[in-house]
Amino acid sequence: MRSTLFSLALFTTLPLLATDRVVEEFGQPPAYPNITSAVNAAVDGDRIIIKNRAGNIPWIENIEVTASLEFLSYDNDEFFYVQGDYTITGATGRTVTFVGMYNTAGDILSFSGGTTRGTTVRVIDSWFVNGNIEITNDPFQVDVIGCTLENGVVDINFGNVVGCDIDGSQVSGPGIEVTTNSTSLPLDTCAIIGNKVKSIVGYEGIYCNTAAQVLHIRNNYIQHGWMGIEVYEGNTSAVQNLIWNNTVTAYTGQFTTYGINLANTNAGSIWEVMNNVVTRTWSGTSRGINNDSGNQGQINVYFNHISSNVSTPVSTGFTFAANNTINQSITLNADGTFNAPGACIDGGNPASVFYDLDLTTGDAGAYGGSYTLDNFNPMHTGAARVVLTGHPFNVRSGSTLRVKGLSYDR
């Protein structure tokens, strides 16, 4: 897998003589009076440093980005307030970063250009009051890290969504969607980890349809009105896709709801569905972990906990299904922690490599295991942080230790 370790303070491929272009209300040279003028003057590697207007009135502009730029607040560890769409044109080697954007009404969008995964976009520690992150072209590799979307969704083709709070309950679309067209590049990991997601009736909380990435869908708390997690395809290189330690609840519905649904998986794909919790407050027909039509992959379902009020807890026909509980009442608090846990506490895979951080047997659900949802909250601390690490579960003498991480700074 490609290492995802990066620091936003270092751009080794960009010009060494980058310029900080300061945006200031009524600004006089060398400052710029608005974001548009600063972006128009900028070249690859420049930083657009934005001073907030009086009273944090947003800068109301639609911005087109055609260079490698970083957008951030003039004040350290603070948001910069804007309103409008930011549209990025792809180009091979281009990198565009947003740190601490507070967008009161607007999206981050893309125009296709360049080669597959040739453009990198990073949206970090940002807040969208009414807007989406929709970068749905294969030329873009997108990292959405530690963001709040009050009324919006995330839709990407390649990349990672880590530690976000996404409320799409009023938006027509999955809370998080990853749909990839290209399969020609070496496999990379798509991490969808540590998110809180709420989706509208008729759409998935998390929907993934990709054969070009290894999916790690872990420690998410999902409230949905149709399907909590739905996956298609899967890589054909026999690299395991992980659906681990998610807490999924149907809070509303219209027809049958599904906690975790697997459909049309590719021959040669492997899916490990483990340590998840599926429950509901919705009163209609429901399915827990569902074996949908067209599956050709190997699907292993074990150590999951499905509440006793789910109509069909675990479908038949999976490659392997064992050690799942279906006879316990499971209820949740508003944040996804357990009100009544049933057998979920210490109910995950008992192998020591899956222990909780306190070195007790791992709990099932979003707050269990080493990627516990607690690791990704509180959000918006403003500080530089390491948001995700990946490493072997077992460290053996004589083996090479490989660790990858995802981090950011100004």
HEC profile of 340-399: ECCCCCCCCCCCHHHCCCCCCCCCCCCCCCCCCHHHHCCCCCCCCEEEEEECCCCCCCCC
Token pair of 319 as six digits: 């490659």
Length of the chain: 410
pLDDT tens digits for range 286-302: 999 999 999 999 999 99
CA 153: distance to chain centroid? 10
CA 365: distance to chain centroid? 17
What pLDDT shows up at residue 99?
A: 95
Q: Name which residue leads in pLDDT, 95 or 384.
A: 95
Q: What is the pTM of this model?
A: 0.93
pLDDT tens digits for range 121-173: 999 999 999 999 999 999 999 999 999 999 999 999 999 999 999 999 999 99
Under the banding of pLDDT at 50, 70 and 90, the label for residue 234 is: very high
Contact assessment for residue 146 and residue 169, using Cβ atoms and an 8 Å cutoff:
no
Cα separations in angstroms, 397 against 370, 401, 404: 22, 10, 20
pLDDT tens digits for range 59-87: 999 999 999 999 999 998 899 999 999 99
Which of 156, 88, 159, 99 is closest to 123 using CA atoms?
Answer: 99
Token pair of 116 as six digits: 């597959």
Residues paired with 111 in a beta bridge? 89
Query: Is 3's pLDDT higher than 60?
Result: no
Contact assessment for residue 169 and residue 400, using Cβ atoms and an 8 Å cutoff:
no
Residues paired with 147 in a beta bridge? none
Preceding amide of 30 cis, omega within 30: yes
- How many CB atoms neighbour CB 12 within 10 A? 5
User: Which region among 74-83, 221-230, 334-343, 390-399 has the lowest average model confidence (pLDDT)?
Assistant: 390-399
Preceding amide of 392 cis, omega within 30: no
Average per-residue pLDDT for the chain: 92
Mean pLDDT value across residues 89-95? 98
The continuous run of DSSP H or E covering 36 comes out as helix 35-41
pLDDT tens digits for range 239-248: 999 999 999 9
Token pair of 24 as six digits: 């200031």
What pLDDT shows up at residue 339?
A: 97
Can you tell me whether residue 60 is helix, strand or coil? Answer: strand
Domain residues of the chain, as ranges? 61-408
Cα separations in angstroms, 219 against 131, 216, 253: 25, 10, 23
The continuous run of DSSP H or E covering 243 comes out as strand 240-244
CA 267: distance to chain centroid? 26
Cα separations in angstroms, 285 against 199, 225, 257, 280, 281: 18, 12, 7, 10, 11
